[in-house]
Amino acid sequence: MTTGSFTWFKSSYSANGGQCVEVAADLIASHGVVPVRDSKIQSGPVLVLPVTSFSVFVAEIKAGAFPA
């Protein structure tokens, strides 16, 4: 997968602590997937999740399923 043309962003809740992920919404409509990468290693591997899995993951985070 070539990731150079994606528009990457991280949550507005992210601090500058370096423990952030970035997502790209470019493939949601066309392929039904959400690319995710480590914001510290932008040239590193990209995890591609199905939209439904990513949505469940985000909902679980918001519900407090992964306490700090």
Is 38 part of a structural domain of the chain? yes
The pairing of beta strand 21-24 with beta strand 8-9: antiparallel
Amino acid in position 43: S
Is 35 part of a structural domain of the chain? yes
Is 5 part of a structural domain of the chain? no
Is 24 part of a structural domain of the chain? yes
Give the C-alpha separation, 51 to 22, whole Å.
15
Split into its structural domains, the chain has a count of: 1
What is the residue range of 52's domain?
Answer: 19-62
Is 9 part of a structural domain of the chain? no
Q: Which has more pLDDT, 67 or 18?
A: 67
Strand partners for 36? 23, 47
Is 46 part of a structural domain of the chain? yes
Q: Is the pTM of this model over 0.95?
A: no
Strand partners for 47? 36
- Residue 19: predicted pLDDT: 75
pLDDT in tens, 5-63: 889 998 777 776 667 889 999 898 889 999 999 888 888 899 999 999 999 999 998 89
Is 43 part of a structural domain of the chain? yes
